[in-house]
Amino acid sequence: MSAIIVSGLVSGSLYALMASGLSLVWGALGVFNFAHGVLLMMAAYAAWWVSSSSGLGAGLAAGVVAAVVFSALAGALLYWVLVRPWLGKPDAELSVIMTTIAGAIFLENLVLEVFGGHYKELDQVVTGTVMLAGTTVQAQDLMAIFLAPALLGGVAALLTRSRTGLAVRAIAQNRDAARLLGINIERIYLVTFAVSAVLAGIAGITIAGLFSISPAMGNDPLLRAFVVVVFGGLGSLIGTIAGAYVIGMVEAVSSYYIGIYWTPVVLFLVLIAVLTVRPTGLMGRAP
């Protein structure tokens, strides 16, 4: 039983990290970033390349730091190349879906070309096991469980207290009024993308330690993150985080009792049920 809970919490934490970045970008810019999963994957490769003896061999700590910095830069660059040129144009939402999907396919294949198809392994940030409520838990799992709430709490604090965080929310609520306060919308968009990419990157480094690294490793988390964002309610960060843990738990329970192959079916059934009762998601607002 506690094994199921731990597994649900780990998935929930990872989904929360992934989905909140997606949700932030959606809230501020009104677009979906389909290259979000690729950001996760590239951060894992960056960490591996810097830390592994097959790469720079600079050690895990350097790898993690490099991957986080890389994520921020990659997020900013992605915004600049794939998103910014289409903002403010008619049907920007659709154009950005196309450009980010195209970018994702390109980058995934680029990584495949450069690093090859063999799965890579990243050392765990914390190693060993811990006994918890009668279950043996990997320390890395435990780290994920504590890291996600801490990071997301930090993001939430920035959004309510910092000048830039308030500006992100202002843009999401009333773009013209935000501009009239002297807010540089472009800069805030860039920062939002960078923060979102860092959250995805940290999820990527954690997943890399728990499972393995491959060019397609971001696809599944991206799909889950979309389910979470819709489930939790578009534009609500709290809803997204709550949704991530609910989905993580449902998945863990269903994998245990029903089996891993039927879990996606269960997941979508839950999603459909919730959207039938609450069309805007758990905490979404009517548009």
By C-beta, is 150 or 180 nearer to another protein? 180
Contact with another protein (CB under 8 A) among 28, 35, 47, 183:
183
Q: Which is nearer to another protein, 61 or 181 (CB)?
A: 181
# residues near another protein by CB under 8 A = 17
The binder of another protein chosen from 22, 125, 155, 170 (CB under 8 A): 170
Q: Kindly state the tokens that stand for 54.
A: 């097959």
Q: Is 276 in the site for another protein (CB under 8 A)?
A: no
Task: Name, in order, each residue with C-beta under 8 angstroms of 105's C-beta and a sequence gap of 6 or more.
Answer: none
Q: Which H or E run includes 52?
A: none
Q: Which residue has the tokens 């079916």?
A: 265
Among 1, 117, 160, 286, binds another protein (CB under 8 A): 160
From CA 270, how far away is CA 112, in angstroms rounded?
35
Helices 92-115 & 36-51 angle (0-180, nearest 10): 30
- Closest to another protein by CB, 33 vs 236, is 236
The reply on whether position 176 binds another protein by CB under 8 A is yes
Q: How far apart are CA 168 and CA 157, in angstroms?
A: 13
Which residues are CB-neighbours of 185 under 8 A, at least 6 positions away? 171, 175, 178, 179
Q: From 102, 111, 123, select the one nearest 209 (Cα to Cα).
A: 123
Determine, following the binding rule CB under 8 A, whether residue 163 of this chain makes contact with another protein: yes
The answer to whether 104 and 190 have CB atoms below 8 angstroms apart is no
Taking contact as CB under 8 A, which single stretch among the options 143-151, 169-177, 253-261, 276-284 is the one that binds another protein? 169-177
Q: Is 167 in the site for another protein (CB under 8 A)?
A: yes
Per CB under 8 A, 169 contacts another protein: yes
- Crossing angle for the helix pair 237-257 and 139-161, to the nearest 10 degrees: 160
Q: Note whether 53 binds another protein by CB under 8 A.
A: no
Q: Cβ(125)–Cβ(64) under 8 Å?
A: yes
Of 1, 150, 180, 277, the one binding another protein (CB under 8 A) is 180
| Smallest separation (angstroms) from another protein to the CB of 172 | 9
Q: Which of 81, 102, 181, 223 binds another protein (CB under 8 A)?
A: 181
Q: Which of 33, 141, 137 is nearest to 87 (CA)?
A: 33
CB-nearer residue toward another protein: 198 or 237: 237
**Phi-psi sector, 212: left (phi>0), alpha (psi -120 to 50), beta:** beta
CB of 238 to another protein, least distance (A): 11
| 157 touching another protein, by CB under 8 A | no
By CB under 8 A, tell whether 166 contacts another protein.
Answer: yes
Among the residue ranges 1-9, 68-76, 171-179, 267-275, the one whose residues contact another protein (CB under 8 A) = 171-179
138 DSSP β-pair partners? 129
By CB under 8 A, name the binding residues for another protein.
Answer: 160, 163, 166-167, 169-170, 173-174, 176-184
